Amino acid sequence: MIRSISFKMYALFMASVVMSIATAWSIYNLYQRQELASQHQLSLIALQSEVSALQAQMWIYLEYKDTKSFQSLVDQQQKLALKLDMSDFSPKKVDRVRLANNQLAELISKDKQFQLALNRVDIDSDLVAQRRSLLNNRYNLLIQNMFEHFSRQHEIEVTVSTTQIERTMFEVAVLLILFSASMMVTAFLLLHRFRMGSKTMSEAIERIKGRHFTHRIDCKNLDTEFSDLASTFNAMCQELEQNVFTRAQLENEVSKKTRKLEEQKVALEYLSEHDPLTSLLNRRSLETHLKSAVARSGRTKLMMAVLFIDLDRFKAINDTYGHHVGD
């Protein structure tokens, strides 16, 4: 099965399919990670926007200290708490921000209670100013801690995303290198085996063109497709060899018969013109030569003569004892 061009082509096809699937999966995985990182970044930006809005409401409240600004600050603080609860981050990543937000809500509540008590009780203005200054610093410190935490989370997310992308790109590169190497090796083997098989078949065809019908192809080192073709080729050569041998025998037999017929023809011609007993020219030959002599005499105007010899009482011998005795 391994020594088959079809198997090698199928293996090459499967390697290309696996490489395509692996590459597509890696790219899709990279896309998913990039999307997740983008969502985290957008979530961080949204939370930072809420913290910025909380900071703005804090400044307004510290500036006016009225009920409306206090309620807006409380609403923004609760909105931030709701956003933190609904975020797709793990609790550990937003616990510090949630803790700072809770501390901020507690300070706002206590500050509001102090403002109400300040309307009923007369307190030294210096103490009030010192408390306000400390409270403002505390507010700013909590807000700053939130911003710093989100900034660190942003850096962590960027680092993790970059690391994941680099790792995915490295995996894709390794997969491409491995599959490319395997495809190159398979393609090289396929090309080598195909060229060897085609060269063997070309040489065999050239031998047949030279009428070397005894040539046979060795199928042991060939792939399955070329081996089947070589087996058919060998069977054809064997049939051609048998046909050529039969034709040679037929031509040899025809040649013998022809020579025999020619010999018989010569013998018949000799018998037709010669006497079998004496081997002298017979009457038919005499007539032929006489016609030729008469024609030649007519052309040359020369005289000719015919000598006739007769044996007395020879007829009685033929009649009494037979012609074979007379002859």
Distance of CA 137 to the CA centre of its chain: 71
- pLDDT for position 47: 83
pLDDT tens for 277-322 read: 777 777 777 777 778 878 787 788 778 777 777 777 777 777 787 7
What distances in angstroms separate CA 130 from CA 62, 63, 123, 124, 126, one per listed residue?
A: 14, 16, 12, 10, 6
- pLDDT for position 92: 74
pLDDT tens for 156-205 read: 888 888 888 888 888 888 888 888 888 888 788 778 878 888 888 888 88
What distances in angstroms separate CA 285 from CA 282, 291, 310, 326, one per listed residue?
A: 5, 10, 19, 21
Distance CA 143, CA 48 (A): 10
Distance CA 305, CA 132 (A): 181
278 and 290 in contact (C-beta within 8 Å)?
A: no
- pLDDT for position 3: 66
pLDDT of 65 above 70: yes
- pLDDT for position 247: 61
Look up residue 89 and give its DSSP letter. Answer: S
- By C-alpha distance, which of 6, 8, 10, 3 is closest to 219? 3
Q: State mean pLDDT over 55-69.
A: 81
Distance CA 314, CA 325 (A): 11
Distance CA 297, CA 300 (A): 5
pLDDT tens for 250-287 read: 677 778 878 888 877 777 777 777 777 777 777 777 77
pLDDT of 32 above 80: yes
DSSP 120-177: HS---HHHHHHHHHHHHHHHHHHHHHHHHHHHHHHHHHHHHHHHHHHHHHHHHHHHHH
Of the chain, the percentage scoring pLDDT greater than 70 comes to: 92
Q: Give the containing element (helix H, strand E) for 228.
A: helix 224-273
Burial 61-91 (b: 16+ CB within 10 A, else e): bbeeeeeebbebbbebbeebbebbeebebee
**Length of the chain in residues, anyone?**
327
The type of residue at 204 is A
Phi, psi of 124 (to 5 degrees): -60, 130
Distance of CA 101 to the CA centre of its chain: 62
Structure tokens at 26: 């890696």
pTM above 0.85, yes or no: no
Structure tokens at 274: 């010669």
- pLDDT for position 193: 78
Considering just the CA atoms, what is the radius of gyration of the chain in Å? 62
Of the chain, the percentage scoring pLDDT greater than 90 comes to: 0
Q: Give the containing element (helix H, strand E) for 110.
A: helix 91-120
Sequence-separated (6 or more) residues with CB below 8 Å from residue 33: 161, 164, 165, 168
84 and 51 in contact (C-beta within 8 Å)?
A: no
Q: Give the containing element (helix H, strand E) for 37.
A: helix 5-64
pLDDT tens for 140-153 read: 888 888 888 888 88
175 and 26 in contact (C-beta within 8 Å)?
A: yes
Q: Where are the beta strands (DSSP E) in the chain?
A: none
